[in-house]
Each structure stands twice: as structure tokens, then as C-alpha cells.
Structure 1
Amino acid sequence: MRNIKLTISYDGTDFHGFQIQPNLRTVQGALQARLEEVVGHPVSIIGSGRTDAGVHARAQVVNFHTSSRVPVEKWPIVCNVKLPGDLVVQDAEEVSEDWHARFSAQGKVYRYQMDRSAFSDVFTRKYAYHYPYPICVERMIEAATHLVGRHDFTSFCAANTPVEDKVRTLYAVDLREEGHLLTVTCRGEGFLYNMVRIIVGTLLDVGRGKIEPGELPDILLARDRKRAGVTAPAHGLTMWQVLYD
């Protein structure tokens, strides 16, 4: 069996997340259905990670096994010809039999965008959280430095997260302003459920003066979801890149 790696992009607005769910439109469901049409046998897609409803991906990575002899360079073409416009296969590569989109990954990069203009920009409203309130970005940058490194991120993940080990390493949390857009980029070895969105919500509270930058270490040590900020809306988040050797 061949092992095919695909890099895909999608607009998460009209998807109920990545993972296949009965009677719901999902990224995995749409892509898997198209692949099965092409290869003529059942296909099980492995994703590098799940994205929630409304979350987008610039470069999500998946792999699947097939006996099909379709040339590797043809996979984007045969997929995209019948995929919906909000899901695109960008690239294909044949990889070793044991290569795994999730377990072979060395890290991920997520970006969260906020629109700080007085009125929502109709051209970014699906991809940026409209946040017209006054904030101090310098305070947010200072607070973000406390999140970099290896920590227990219990305070920064959904309370119902079933994962027991909540220790993760963040390599960088960068904030960049460009016009009316503020982008938070998180690069790490892995992320917990809602982790980036809670980080953003907490940084916004810092920016508005509700939390002091120096409180972040205590919030981490508390291991209490109630100590951190709200979960920022899904539509501002994009899975930007998956890191491999």
C-alpha cells in the first residue's frame, strides 16, 4: 500500500470542524468521500490535528493509505476537480509506510487575527475577530513572554479536556500589528483543546487592564481554567503550518 501525504487548505466557516461526524459537514468527511471516489476503496484519513467548527487552515496535513496507482503529482488535480470551493488540496507527496501526519509532526504554528477597526471589515470578518475596544499591545507583548517555554497549560485549555498530561512547550508567542489587524502567532510542539483561543482571550484581558502582565506566571501555576481569560471566537484562528523534520 502506498502512503500519500496531502497538504490542504480550508475555510472553516461552513464546516463543523475537521473530524468526521455523522450527518454533519466536516473537512475529513468531504475529503475522504472524494478520495474514495477516486481510488474505489474505503479510505481512512489521518490528520495532523483537529480543528473546531469555524477554525480555518492554511496548511493542514493529512495522510492516507491506498492501492491506487494515481501518480503523486496528480492527486491535487483529481481531488480539487470535485471538492467544494472552501476545501483545496495544495500539494501531495508519497511518504514512507510508517509516516504519520500526527505522530511524525514536530510542532505546529497557529495564527489568530483580530480586526481593531471601529467597524467590522466586511472582507476580513470571517477570518478576524472584530475587537474595537482600546487595548495596550505593549502590555500584551510583555505578558506573552511568560507563556514561552515548557509549562503545565491546564489554565489555558478547555475544562473538559480529557488529556491528562497538559504540559506543553511553546517556542514563541509573537504579536504583530499591520494596519487595523493584530495577529498573535503561537509556535509550539503541540496544543491543547482551545489553548490558542484562551491564550488570545487572556492577552486581550491584559491589553484592557483586567489582568496584569506579571500575573501570567501565577495563572499558569494555578492550573485553574477560571483564572485565565475567555475563549476567543473560533473564526479568528487559522492552523498556519505543521512542522516536520
Structure 2
Amino acid sequence: MVKTYRKIKCKVSYDGTDYAGYQVQSNALTVQQLIEEAIEQIAKERTTIYASGRTDAGVHARGQVFHFRTACSIPVHKWPYAFVTKLPNDIVVWEAEEVPDDFHARFDVKEKIYRYSLMNRPFPDVFHRKYAWHVPYDLNLEAMRSAANYLIGEHDFTSFCSIKTDVEDKVREIYDISLEEHDEGRVWLTFRGNGFLYNMVRIMTGTLVKVGTGEWEPDRVRDILEACDRTAAGPTAPAQGLTLWEVKY
């Protein structure tokens, strides 16, 4: 009997604290591994899931998207309920829909939104230590906003990606960067763009914090972009402050 396959698109949230990132690795526990194992338990078939992109060790996701093909006859709306029974409580698949066979979770992405969380106050918050970077120095948010304006648009972001980046084309377009101040010292930096390089958001954040503390002037960011040199930019902000917020198609 010929099997009929469907393509399922899912949205998943996860706390990345205890994982070596999203992508499967041979010697460490990852989010992809656990989701694929859950599918195998549910559908009694082995499959590979394809996500909108990778997240590093310690990085979180609110709206990661992945797809997979399955011959399992479970109604699509029941997949999230099935996942709940097979995944740990720090990984939650909360939406599933059937999509055309030509859909691809990575190659069809139109926009990604990342949020980086700072805890800007003298002492750390014990309840946010896994989800924010504690910066105890006063930050000039207006200076950071001015610096962020240099990053908006289409640029070569060689200065703002890890030297381990394995892609040759480092041109990306940033649509918007916003900084929001909240109570108890929380600051959210939200980055919207058509794609991001390895460590790009964390390096942009580390650079903007350098401006916020007054160590660098805002227009230095323009010079850093033009340098196309990773050593010109600021530090890579800690992983725990970063969340893949949303993926748009």
C-alpha cells in the first residue's frame, strides 16, 4: 500500500538553558533531537525536522518554526496535544497546520524577529538570571538608539558576526531596531530583519551596550560596519538574554 505523506508546520517555544542549541549534535542534547524523538514515538516513523534557523546553546525561542513530513494519520490539530505527552516541559509545540509540499521553514522566511533582554540595575534579579544579561552600569538609551540607526538597512555585517560563520555572503537587511524600557530595570532590544548571521544579534547588542555606557560614541557603529572586521565591534552578549521571538512567512 502506497503511503500518503503530509507536510506539517509547527510553532515551538523552548527554554534553551539546558540544551546545546537547537541543531542535532552527536555528543550533546539539543531541541531538534528531542522533537524528532517525540515524532518517532507518536508516529512510529523516523523523520527529520527542518527549522527556520539554528539557535545557539542557551538561547531561547518563543516562536521557532519547523516542518516535517509524515504518513501518520493523526489530525493536524491534535499534534500539539500529542507533543505535550512526549516532550519535556521546557519545550512546547503550541501550533500545527498542514502546509503545501513546497513550503520550507527555512527558505521561505520573509522576516525574523529577535528580542534581547537586559537587566539594567545595580544588582542582578535572581528570577531573570537565565533570561537576561545583567548590566549594572547606567545606560544611555538615546545614545543606543542613535547608534542602532546606523545598523538599519542593507549592509555587509562581517563586523557583526562570529569568525566561525560559514556563509560567504554576509549582506543582510535590518528593518528595524527598537529599545524599550520597562519596570525594574528591564530593557528590551528588538531586532527585525530578513535574516541574521551567526552571533549577529548578540554582537550588535554587545556593541550597543558599549555605546550605552558611554565608552563609545554612537557614530562609531558606522565605522565598525565599514571596517568589515569582527575585532572592530563590541563583545558577544551572553546567550541567555536572546530569544527568537517570531518568524514571518
For normalisation by structure 2, the TM-score amounts to: 0.97
Quote the residue 1:56 is aligned against: 60
Aligned to 2:88: 84
Q: Which residue is equivalent to 1:20?
A: 24
What amino acid is the match of 1:116? N
Aligned residues: 244
Instruction: Find out whether 1:214 has 2:203 as its counterpart.
Output: no
Deviation, 1:195, is: 0.2
1:184 aligns with 2:189: yes
CA displacement at 1:122 relative to structure 2: 1.6
Alignment of 1:122-141 (within 5 A): 122-141=126-145
Identity of aligned residues (%): 53
1:145 pairs with 120, 134, 149, which one? 149
Quote the residue 1:117 is aligned against.
121
Q: What is residue 197 of structure 1 aligned with on the other side?
A: 202
Provide the aligned C-alpha RMSD in A.
Answer: 0.7
Q: Counterparts of 1:133 and 1:117 in 2: how far apart (Å)? A: 7
**1:197 aligned partner, one-letter code:** R
Cα deviation 1:70-115 (Å, max 9, x = unaligned): 0000000011112101000010000001100001110100000001
Between the aligned partners of 2:134 and 2:201, the Cα distance in structure 1 is 17
Q: Distance in 2 between matches of 1:6 and 1:99?
A: 12
CA–CA separation in structure 2 for the residues paired with 1:132 and 1:238: 21
Which residue type is aligned with residue 242 of structure 2? Answer: L
Where 2:80 maps in the other structure, the secondary structure is helix
What are the superposed Cα offsets for residues 12-55 of structure 1, whole Å, 9 maximum, x if unpaired?
A: 00011000112311000000000011111111000100000000
After TM superposition, which residue ranges in structure 1, 4 or more long, deviate above 4 angstroms? none
Amino acid in the other structure paired with 2:43: V
The residue number in structure 1 matching 2:244 is 239
Secondary structure in 2 matching 1:81: helix
Whether the aligned pair in 1 keeps the contact of 2:120 and 2:139 (CA below 8 Å) is: no
TM-score normalised over the length of structure 1? 0.98
Q: What secondary structure sits across from 2:244 in the alignment?
A: strand
Cα displacement (A) at 1:9: 0.2
Number of the residue aligned with 2:14: 10
| Letter of the structure 2 residue corresponding to residue 241 of structure 1 | E
TM-superposed deviation, 1:223: 0.1
Decide which moves more: 215-224 or 149-158.
215-224
